[in-house]
Chains A and B, each alone.
Chain A
């Protein structure tokens, strides 16, 4: 046991010395490897955390949203639809929703404006997301000047600011009483943006949706599970962001694993020949190369995953946030709750460490089984 341990330690010692001899090449290889693992692990952490947030937030989504289409575009829904839909068997409640977008010409930001009938929100006041507060440099008690659709000024006093931990729900949101919403957009009294429908038995949702679609051919019901599925598909591996990062990182990994696997340099072949000629067994050479693969891949894997965790959960994923920001003036800070999916980390381990170690050993096995003299003559 002790002898075997000593053998491994000696070979590891030789491996480290051999790696340090080609310091430049191996450090650049380690940096490249670490970067690939870091990007992949960051993506896994980011997506798992966003999926969790989406599941929690969308759990409160309405059972069904009913929109109205006009000439192929979403249009306002007459409020009378609400009373009529409420008569359908199985429907528990129908609530008209009033919301829209406001383009701020001062800073080029788009706000989501929602009417809230919360009695805690007094008239001519607003509750705003932390993104809006930051963009307009506002604090509680300040006045938020907006311009209505008929060019009249609308002044709202800031009643409260949502904490930045709620950014994924409301970073760009301005909540205001329905009267102020109506004044801001010159919104028609008898219409709403859409209708939120609650159904007593979730099993009946498709039936109720079919009844609504048949009763109002211009309507478009959107079920809660469709809303949830939208976010599952965004964060799915086939979703735009995931697929783009996954493909580029995996391709880079395949390129350098391929480079490693397709052959040894003349120097490495010569080294194997010398080792064999001074009495090393083929198994010793393979063990040497195994340790070489492990030193590079395990170091890159462990450091890559730990750095990715810090990048996503301590630094709010600046790499991915940049991609999602696009041209947005106003964006959430991705303060995500840490989630570690052990299954995905295990898959990442088998996708990166195992192929690389195998790609290191196989060409060496081919070189180590030929005559030392031939190996040295390469």
Chain B
């Protein structure tokens, strides 16, 4: 078979897989909506304020509850040194300006 035909077949297969991704995502969301993932009553009652993304420091575990000074409050001249501190930052809101 000609190389050009082989290439077109390859690109068609890759394109079909690519176009199937949104359908797979939709199907996965519908499947998960049926289980108890979002409806675990015990967890829902907690009314959590933060996602568990990084647990190494208090201000990266609960950035919504922290302020911008939190990383520097461990002791005088404390430096922010946790790696996730550079990725997960508290938001600059009205409360941070207080």
Write the residues of chain A forming the contact surface with B, with a CB cutoff of 8 angstroms.
Answer: 9-10, 12-13, 16-17, 50, 53-54, 56-58, 60-62, 65, 67, 72-74, 97, 101, 109-110, 112, 114, 116, 118, 120-121, 127, 129, 131, 160, 162-163, 165-173, 175, 194, 196, 220-222, 226-227, 229-231, 233-234, 239-241, 244, 295, 298-299, 302-303, 305-306, 309, 313, 323-332, 337-340, 342
Top-6 shortest CB links A-B? A326-B83, A338-B25, A230-B91, A326-B84, A302-B14, A12-B4
Known contacts A65-B65, A240-B88, A302-B18; A231/B51 CB under 8 A: yes
> Are A162 and B40 interface neighbours, CB within 8 A?
yes
Identify which of residues 17-68 in chain B touch chain A, using a CB-to-CB cut-off of 8 Å: 17-18, 21-22, 24-25, 28-29, 32, 35, 37-38, 40, 42-56, 58, 60-65
| Cα distance A338–B46 in the bound complex, in angstroms | 25
> Are B7 and A332 interface neighbours, CB within 8 A?
no
Known contacts A16-B7, A327-B83; A170/B52 CB under 8 A: yes
Contact with B65, one of A67, A163, A165, A313 (Cβ below 8 angstroms):
A67
Min C-beta distance of A260 to chain B, whole Å = 20
List the A side residues contacting B45 at CB < 8 Å.
Answer: 116, 118
Write the residues of chain B forming the contact surface with A, with a CB cutoff of 8 angstroms.
Answer: 2-5, 7-8, 10-11, 14-15, 17-18, 21-22, 24-25, 28-29, 32, 35, 37-38, 40, 42-56, 58, 60-65, 69, 73, 82-91, 93-95, 98
| Cα distance A171–B42 in the bound complex, in angstroms | 14
| Cα distance A73–B69 in the bound complex, in angstroms | 9
Min C-beta distance of B86 to chain A, whole Å = 5
